[in-house]
Structure 1
Amino acid sequence: MNMIVNGREVTLPENVVTVRDLLDHFQLNKELAIVELNQSILDKATRDNKKLTNGDRVEIVQFVGGG
């Protein structure tokens, strides 16, 4: 599947079919990540099972602590 993730075109393996799969693929902390799919911010409570399709545009923001 081909999509745009954070402004870059990527080809993902066949096992990446949901937002949760995508976050796992990029080894991101699901608790700290905010996901926007096709210009709509996804609710954390329901986003994990949201299906991805070829050509989707995804933006992922992950909060990091620091000082």
Structure 2
Amino acid sequence: MIQLIINGQPQCFPPSGQARPPKSDQGDATLNITQLLAHMALQGKRIAIERNGEIVPRSKFDEQVLTDGDKLEIVVAVGGG
């Protein structure tokens, strides 16, 4: 399990075996932002993500491999009138 701090709350997620092979010896225990959003049922929504104090562009969601203890802030845009 990978433990992340999301919007100030600790949460655990299973690693995805579908992630590309890591460059370290972590085995297949990886999870990228796109996979995390799928776990959280947020794919396709208008969101902004900050990882450890840095904004992550949407084009980099597949490339950002998350590790234990990463701190994420996820903001979901809400429409209204």
In terms of Rg, which structure is larger? 2
Task: After the TM superposition, list the runs of 4 or more consecutive aligned residues in structure 1 that deviate by more than 4 angstroms.
Answer: none
CA offset at residue 31 of structure 1? 4.8
User: For structure 1, which runs of at least 5 residues remain unmatched after alignment?
Assistant: none
Matches within 5 A, 1:1-67: 1-15=2-16, 17-67=31-81
Tell me the TM-score normalized by structure 1: 0.87
How high is the sequence identity, in percent, across the aligned residues?
34
Q: Unpaired runs of 5+ in structure 2?
A: 17-29
Amino acid at match of 1:40: E
Contact 2:32 2:65 in 1 (8 A): yes
Report the number of matched residues: 67
The alignment's TM-score, normalised by the length of structure 2, stands at 0.74
